[in-house]
Amino acid sequence: MGKDGKAKRIDGRSLKKYRLSDYKWLTYGQIDTITTSIAKGLVANGAAFGDKILILSETRVEWFLCAQAIAKLGGTVVTLFSNLGINS
């Protein structure tokens, strides 16, 4: 806890509390449709088989969907997690 009474991370930054929605299930068919669409968008923007593609994101469903789309086009997922901090 900080002097202001708010929860702090070990590095001194304030913790934020978010209210999340209920979990939303996706079917395999929905995932296939979404990831195919993302893969087509990546290809339209110049991505190709064998490319290394960086995902900078919090851990969330969109991260998973993008990773699956990259795999569909034969790319390699490169991850950079936003919670690593500014000095990582």
Which of 48, 71, 66 minimizes the C-alpha distance to 80?
66
pLDDT tens digit sequence for 38-59: 999 999 999 999 999 999 888 8
- 0.85 surpassed by pTM: no
Q: What is the set of domains in the chain, with CATH numbers?
A: 28-84 (3.40.50.980)
- What is the C-alpha to C-alpha distance for residues 57 and 61, in angstroms, rounded to an integer? 10
Report helix, strand or coil for 40.
helix
Contact 7, 15 (CB under 8 A): yes
Q: What average pLDDT does range 21-47 have in this prediction?
A: 96
